[in-house]
Structure 1
Amino acid sequence: MEEKSKIFLFIDDNITPVAELFAPVNFELDTSKLVDGKHLLKIVSKDPQGKEGVRLIPFEVRNGPSIAVEGIKENAIVDGKIPIMINAYGKGSQKNFLISGSESPQSIPFWIFILLILFIAWTIYYFTTSSAINLF
């Protein structure tokens, strides 16, 4: 009989493993039991000879409502009064998606205005040059 490696799964700094499994394994991590924020999944494997391998996987949990902020960015240098728009909405469950409140209104990016101005300028240029050809 072939001996298999044993896998121990730890979350953050817990000394008690979340699961003890034999390789190969499919595992479903339930993040709903974790608080929002940064976490660390530590995977320790022991082969039949007793040698250990460790893999650390940092991840971030966001089970709570999403928060969208328009008007200020992280680590921004600001001055005076700043209009800020904040929207928060829940995602619902994995079976039902909440459409109500899930879209945050946003201002139109400046590059859209630049593209619009360039398109209008090109249109005026095109009609001006093509009508000049028809006059002769």
Structure 2
Amino acid sequence: MTKDRSKVFLFLDDDLHPIAELETPIVFDLDTKKLTDGEHVLKIISQSPSGKEGIRKINFTVANGPSIRIEGLKNKDVVDGTLSLMINAYDKGNQKSFLINGSETPQTIPFWIWIIIILFVGWAVYYEITSSAIQ
């Protein structure tokens, strides 16, 4: 190690042993495929050539597994009776090609679109009736 460079130690979550010990500046590839899906913390401890230390923690969430979409139930909903749920799970594929099959979740039509359609049809019927009465 040269004495004019800072050194960084990278820790994941509560691990006592660093995953990397590097001299700066450095580009480090963190392979999230080796981590479980969920919340993690990357802790970076820096050490300057003069011996001073700094620390930075970065919270991040890993989502390598298939994405799950659900319609008909939201987090912390209060429900009763029978629920009709639409559930879809799809993988992102590899990073080099786009996966079309199963990557789109069908959704129901929102209620505000139904309101717009009903208002438009009502206006069209009203317009047709009033314009035919004039002739």
TM-score by length of structure 2 reads: 0.84
Q: Is the 8 A contact 2:3 2:49 kept in 1?
A: no
CA shift, 1:122, in A, is 6.0
Q: How does 1:1-136 map to 2 (within 5 A)?
A: 3-120=4-121
Quick one: structure 1 residues 45 and 116, their matched pair in 2 at CA, closer, same or farther if it must change by over 3 Å? same
Which blocks of at least 5 consecutive residues in structure 1 are unaligned?
Answer: none
Tell me the SS of whatever aligns to 1:50: coil
Amino acid at match of 2:92: K
Query: Equivalents in 1 of 2:38, 2:99: separation in Å?
Result: 22
Query: Equivalents in 1 of 2:15, 2:81: separation in Å?
Result: 46
CA shift, 1:119, in A, is 4.4
Which blocks of at least 5 consecutive residues in structure 2 are unaligned?
Answer: none
TM-score by length of structure 1 reads: 0.84
Question: What per-residue deviation string (whole Å, max 9, x for no partner) do you get for residues 34-61 of structure 1?
Answer: 0101100001100111111111111110
Cα RMSD (Å) of the superposition? Answer: 2.3
Count of aligned residue pairs for this structure pair: 131
> Alignment identity in percent?
57
CA shift, 1:115, in A, is 3.1
Tell me the SS of whatever aligns to 1:112: helix
